Amino acid sequence: MTKKMLIAEDDSNIAVLLRLYMEKEGYEVTIAADGGEALHLYRTLRPHIILLDVMMPVADGWQVCNEIRKDSDVPIIMLTARGETGDKVSGLDSGADDYIVKPFEMREVIARVNAVMRRTTSAESVNTHSVSFDNLIINLDNYQLYLRGKLVDVPPKEIELLYFLASNPHKVFTREQLLDHVWGFEYTGDTRTVDVHIKRLREKLDGVSNRWMLKTVWGVGYKFELVNL
C-alpha cells in the first residue's frame, strides 16, 4: 500500500524539493502552503506521516500539531529554521515525533522519515485494529468504543459496523456489501438489519463531533464521512 505524506511548508522551493525526493522514496505526497490548509488536508487525506514547518501563515506548526494530536497519533516531523533547544523542546512537547533544523540535507530527512515510520509500524503491529477520529476511538481488538474519552457499552455488531465504515472514510457501501463484510456471506437476514444498527449507532454518536458523521447516501447505502470545517 502506498504511504501518503502531507508536507506543510510555505516555502514553495523547499516543498517541491521535499516532494521530489519523497516521491522517489515511494510516498504519495500532498503539499499545504499554510497551517489552515494543512489541517484541511490532514482531515481529508488522513496521511500516514506529516512533515510540518513551524513558521507558517494562518496557523503555525505548533498550533497545527496540537490540533492534530487531539484525535490522531499520526507521525509528525517538525521542520524549522530555529535551532535553539527551547524551540526543539516546544516542538516535542506539542506532540511531534522528531525535529529537523533548516538548512538540512535530504539524506537526513529521508533517514529520519524512515526511522519514524519504522517505529510507528512496529507500534501499530501490536494493535492493528484501531481507528480514531475527533472524540472517537474504535478498538476492534477488545471491542471497545470511546466517545469523548469515555468507554461506551456497544453491542459487538454495532462496533464491527462502525469500525468497518470508519476504516474506509468517504467510501459508500450498499446494505448488501455491509452485510457481507460485517455479518458474513452466510448471513441470511434482511438488509433492514443494517438500517437498524445504523439507527442505533446514530443515537449513540449524536452530538459527539461535527467533524465526521454516518451519512445516508439515498438509493445506495451508507458511508462514514469526514467533514471539512
CATH number reported for the structural domain that contains residue 216 in this entry: 1.10.10.10
Cα separation of 177 and 185, whole Å?
10
Are residues 120 and 7 both part of a single domain? yes
Which SS3 state, helix, strand or coil, does residue 224 take? strand
**CA triplet 96, 102, 103: central angle to 5 degrees?**
150
The confidence band for 170, taking pLDDT boundaries of 50, 70 and 90, is very high
**Number of domains present in the structure of the chain:** 2
For residues 112 and 185, the model is more confident at 112
pLDDT at 100 over 90: no
CATH of the domain at 27: 3.40.50.2300
Clarify whether residues 178 and 114 are in a common domain.
Answer: no
Q: For residue 210, what pLDDT is reported?
A: 92
For residue 15, what pLDDT is reported?
95
- Do residue 28 and residue 114 come from a single domain? yes
Query: What pTM was estimated for this model as a whole?
Result: 0.56
Give the containing element (helix H, strand E) for 215: strand 212-217
Are both 140 and 60 inside the same structural domain?
no
Q: Are residues 147 and 210 in the same domain?
A: yes
Which domain does 35 fall in, by range? 3-124
Residue at grid coordinates 516532494: 19
